[in-house]
Structure 1
């Protein structure tokens, strides 16, 4: 009996395996911000909704296990929803990952994704006050080689497909 192209003796093709891996990755990334209370982690001052410095994006930051992560949930745009370098919608894209507490002053260190290039950068975040979050993105693991943005607490509305008013 002849097997279909790409099918191995066990019945799984490399395409099937790739699809299973992709689905697992999607399932893992959908269980992100908002799990702080269910996992018993105390809320960090950095958690919540934050408006980026240029007022063009809103991020939901929350616990992801023992780290903080952030998802883009609001954007300023005209036309179709912006896509990342891989062609995925930026709406709901996890851009802040693996932030771990590194000091007694609530400074968290992790990574930030540039969706237009696909590059990730080292980053630090800390709540300067309940209404102000400082984010510093940098290269080569050295904060001196970076740029700081000031984000503010967001309490506005977000429309369908992450559209900001």
Structure 2
């Protein structure tokens, strides 16, 4: 084995200089990456800001009501936009018509479970407000779990996405 210090001129570190062509190619690649970075950033921020799966219209489990779930400021909320009724529109406990009644309120992302939302649901028949969770199952159905204190003691309903029409005065066909 030869001593590398003997093979190199005095003051030389033994590290070869990078050829000019490689330096130019590297500089060109860096310049191209800097030009393309702003183009990729909107796509990344758009992916983060994608609409939650729960946004839209949902038919209740008994197929007698449709809720529209949407943004309410920084939170998600839902109100009744369609009802199945024969004579006059149903009314809540206070005597208010149920059409456009806000019943899902204050939903924010669940920090522990991605894709799940925590908020409150109001029972129009009793006026009671319950804690609730919302999420979309793998089958594409909306799951709404209402509970008093902890999710363990609650009830889950399955709602399906609604794409039909709604007539005047919130009447479902």
TM-score normalised by the chain length of structure 2: 0.68
Calculate the aligned-residue CA RMSD, in Å.
1.3
How many Å separate the matches in 2 of 1:87 and 1:130? 37
Q: Which runs of 5+ in 2 are unaligned?
A: 1-48
Q: Which residue of 1 aligns with 2:131?
A: 122
Q: Please, which of 54, 64, 85 is the counterpart of residue 56 of structure 1?
A: 64
Q: Deviations over 1:64-97 (max 9, x none)?
A: 1111000100111121111111111100000000
| Residue 63 of structure 1: how far off its partner (Å) | 0.9
Q: Which residue of 2 aligns with 1:136?
A: 145
TM-score normalised by the chain length of structure 1: 0.72
Q: Please, which of 91, 106, 128 is the counterpart of residue 98 of structure 1?
A: 106
How many Å separate the matches in 1 of 2:88 and 2:62? 20
Number of residues paired by the alignment?
124
Structure 1 runs of 4+ aligned residues shifted over 6 Å read none
Q: Which residues of 2 match residues 7-26 of structure 1 at below 5 A?
A: none
Q: Please, which of 110, 113, 129 is the counterpart of residue 122 of structure 2?
A: 113
Q: Please, which moves more after superposition, 81-90 or 130-139? A: 130-139
Q: Which residue of 1 aligns with 2:88?
A: 80
How many Å separate the matches in 2 of 1:52 and 1:82? 16
Q: Which residue of 2 aligns with 1:89?
A: 97
Q: Which residue of 1 aligns with 2:161?
A: 153
